[in-house]
Amino acid sequence: MGNSLSCGVCNDGKLPVFAGFKCDTSETSPAMPDRKEVLVAYQDLLTKRGVTTAASDQLCRMETVECQWQHVCLANAGTSAKIVPKEVVDQLMALQYRRSLILDNLVLLRHFIARCSTAWIQSFVDNHGLESLQLFLPQPSTPALEFNVSRDHAILQVFWRLCHFYSALEGLSRPESSDCVLSLCLCLSTRHVAIKIKASQILRLISLASVHGSQAVDAAFRDMDRMTRIVHVVSVLLEEPAAPQLHEEVFCLVNTLLEASSFWLREQLGQSESFMTLVEQFASDPATTIGYQAKLCLEQLLQPSSISHSLHRLLSKAKQAHAEDALLKIVQVLMDTASNELAWNQVALQLATPPPVFPLSPRSKTPRAQSARSIQALEHPTYSKYFKMLQVKVSEDLVRQRMIADGVDASVLATPHATIQVQTYDEEDLPRDQAKPQNESATRGFLSEMHTIQVLSVAAKLPFPLAELPKMLETGDLTVLTRHVVDKLLVFLAIPTGDEKQAIQSASETTTDAERAVKAVLSLAQPLTCWQIFWQFPTHMQEIHEKCQAVLSTCGEINQCQELAQALQILAHPDHSATVNWKLFAEDAAALHDMSKFQALATIIRDAKPKLTQFGSKLRHLPKAAAACSGDLHALLAEQHTKIQYVVAQRHVLNTTPWTSFLASAQFELRLRDNELSKTFARLEETVARCFGARPFPRERFFPFVHHLSLALTTPEKNHRLHISTCF
C-alpha cells in the first residue's frame, strides 16, 4: 500500500547497518586471569576511553569481575564492520515503528558499542545518537502503565555500555540531552526492580562524570517533580520490599547529588517528615553498607543551610518577582557604603535566620453539611484516569489489571456513561480563600495545572509549531505527519476532561499557551482522526491476516493429526457418555474455564491409550488460534469498514495526496480480508464437522476445547494452573 512505512530492515530482522555484524557469542573468550589482573585491565580500558576517576571507581564497584572481563575482551576484539554513525542514528529513528524488531536490534547495538572506538562514540553523540535512543525510553506523556519492561531493560543495557565512554557521559550532561536524562529518571517509576537499579546507576555515573552532569540530573529531577513529587518517587524506591541493592543505589545517587550542592533536592527531601523518618530507620544500623549510606544522607540533610545557599534562594526569589535590578541596586549600595565585611555579615545573618513559623489556625470542629450529586463514571474523580488511558490507546486488558491492582471496581469500564453518586460539601460551608482574585478563571485558565504541564510537554516534542498544523494537514507530507507525530497530536484531545474541552471551545479567547494548543487541535480533530486511520489501517489488516493464517494452519494440522481423531473417538464412546457431556462444552462457556472437567477427559484417554497424550506437540499453531476470537475478528473488520467510510465522508476537507490512492488501496484490502475471513470460517466449519461429525459443536469453542484438552493430557492435575483470558 502507498502508506506502508519502510525502515529498511533486512530479511533476518537486522537493520541494514548491522547486516554484516555478528555478536559472535559462540566464540569462546580467552581464559579469565586473576581478579587483580582483570581489574587493572578494566581500569586501563576506562582510562583509555576518558572516563573520570570517580566514575571509573563506581563502575569497578558496580560491575562483577566476569562482566569486567567481558568488557575487556569485547573492546580488544574490536569490529571490522564499517558502520557510519549517522546511518545508525537515521535507522534507529525509523526502528521505533517496527516494534517486533526493536529488542533484537538493541542487542546488536549493545554488542557493537562494546567494541567501538572512542572516536566512533563521539561521532555517534554528535549526530544526535542519544536523542534517537531516547525514543525507546519512557516518555513524559506516556502513562506508567504503558512502560515496556523488556524494551526498557534492553535500552538501559545500551546506555550502560555507553557509560563506559566519557564522550557519552559528557553528551548526556548537555542541555540538548535533557529529555534523555528525564526519560532515564522516569525509569525509576517502573515496577521492575532491575530497571530501577540500572537507571539509578546510570544517573549516578552521569552525576559523577562532571559538574554539568550533576546539574543535568538535578534539572531532570525538577522536571520530573512537576509530574510526580520527587520526594514521593524516592520514598517509594526506599520502601521497595526485599531490594537491598536498590536501596543502596538510591542512597548513593541522592548522596552524590547532595554533595554536588543540589540545594533544591536538599530542600525537597529535608522538608518531608515521612522521608526523614524513613532515612532514620535505615541509618539506625550504620554497620551495614545501606545504613552507612543512609547515615551520610541524613547528615547532609540535617546540615544548616550555607550562606551561598541563602543567597542562591534570594536570587531565585528575585528572578521570580522580576526584581533582579532592585536586588543588584541593594548589593551595590552595600558595597559602596561599607568598605569592610560588616554590611555583608549583617545580610548573611538575616538570610541565615529562618523566618518565624506561625501556628495554623485550629480547624473548625463543626462538620460541614454534605450532599449527594450524580455524575457520569467517565467524569468521576476515581475512574476518570482509567478512561483517559483508554483514550490514549492503552489496551483495555491492561487498564482492567491496573484497576484491580488499585482496588477499583473494573466493571465500570463497561458502562462509562452510568451515573454514580458522590458526596460533596454544601457550597456555603466551603472555606473561602480571601486572597483569590475574582477573575481567577481569566488568569488561571480552564485547564488544571497538571493538564497544562502535560499539554506543554507534548507540544515541546512536536517537530513543528502548532500554528503550522493546518498547513501541514493541507500539504499531506508523510515525512512530517508521521504516525508518531499524529499520535502525539491526538494526545491533546485525550488529556483535558470533557468539561475543560467544552469550556475551551466555547471561550471567545484563550489565555494560556496550553489552551491555545488544545483549541487548535480540537478545531482539526476530524482530519487528524483520518490521519490516525491512515497509519493504523495497515496494522489492523495485518493483524486480521495473521489470525486467519493461524486458523487455517491449525485446521490443516488438526486434519492431519490422527492422534486427535483417535482421542475424540475414545471420548465419543457410549461407555463414557456419563463423563463426557458434549452439550455442556458446546453450550456453556464456563465449562471451558473448568480444568477439572478436562482432567476427567484426559484420564479417560490415558486409561484407554497412553500414547495419545502428546498430540498437542503436532499442533504448533493451536495456541495462536485459541487466543483469537471469531467475534473480535468480525468486529475488527467491521470497524475498519466504518473507519474507511468515515474517511470517505471527510473527503471534502482532505487533500488529494495521499488520500486518493489510500482509499483505493484500502477498499481493495478490505475486499481481500472479507474473502479471506469467509474462506477461513468455511474451512473451520469443515474441520469442526470432520472432528465431531453429527454432534453440533460451535466453532468459537472448538480451538479452546482442543487446546485445553492437549494441556490437560501433558500436565499433571496437581500442577495445572490455567487462566483463560480470550477464546476463539
Q: Which residue has the cell 464456563?
A: 590
Q: Which residue has the cell 535505615?
A: 282
d(CA 196, CA 187): 6
Q: Is the dihedral of CA 450, 452, 455, 459 positive or negative?
A: negative
- Under a CB-based contact definition with an 8 Å cutoff, are residues 640 and 534 in contact? no
- Choosing among 1.20.58.2220, 1.10.3720.10, 3.20.20.30, 3.40.640.10, the CATH entry for 536-719 is 1.20.58.2220
Residue 183 contacts by C-beta under 8 Å, 6 or more apart in sequence?
134, 137, 138, 139, 140
User: How does 403-432 read in b/e, with b if 16+ C-beta sit within 10 Å?
Assistant: beeeebebebbeebeeebeeeeeeeeeeee
Q: Grid coordinates standing for 554?
A: 491449525
Q: Which residue has the cell 517528615?
A: 273
What does the pLDDT look like over 405-416, one tens digit per residue?
566 777 777 777
User: What's the pLDDT at 543?
Assistant: 86
User: What's the pLDDT at 612?
Assistant: 66
Q: How many helices (H) and strands (E) would you count in the chain?
A: 36, 2
The domains of the chain are located at: 84-220, 229-303, 307-344, 376-419, 448-523, 536-719
Strand pairing partners for 73? none
Cα separation values, 533 from 205, 388, 676, Å: 43, 20, 22
* Angle separating helix axes 273-283 and 289-302, nearest 10 degrees: 140
Q: DSSP label at 304?
A: P
d(CA 203, CA 214): 9
Of 571, 572, 575, 626, nearest to 602 by C-alpha is: 571
Strand pairing partners for 373? 422
User: How does 560-580 read in b/e, with b if 16+ C-beta sit within 10 Å?
Assistant: ebebbbbbbebbeeeeeeeeb
Of 210, 119, 124, 123, nearest to 159 by C-alpha is: 124
Q: Which pairs count as long-range contacts for 88-92, CB under 8 Å and 24+ apart, including other chains?
A: 88/15, 88/17, 88/124, 88/129, 89/124, 89/127, 89/128, 89/129, 89/132, 91/7, 91/8, 91/15, 91/16, 91/17, 92/15, 92/129, 92/132, 92/133, 92/135
Q: Is the dihedral of CA 579, 585, 587, 588 positive or negative?
A: positive
The pLDDT averaged over each successive group of 10 residues in the chain (728 residues) is: 42 71 59 89 93 91 90 83 84 79 87 90 92 87 66 91 94 91 91 91 93 91 87 90 90 91 83 86 85 89 64 70 72 60 59 49 49 70 76 67 66 75 48 40 62 79 83 84 86 83 80 82 89 90 88 86 77 61 53 60 72 69 71 81 91 82 91 91 84 68 74 58 34
- Strands (DSSP E) contained in 321-430 are 370-376, 419-425
- Choosing among 1.25.10, 2.60.120, 1.10.10, 1.20.58, the CATH entry for 84-220 is 1.25.10
User: What's the pLDDT at 595?
Assistant: 61
Q: Which residue has the cell 507534548?
A: 458
Q: DSSP label at 422?
A: E
d(CA 144, CA 146): 5
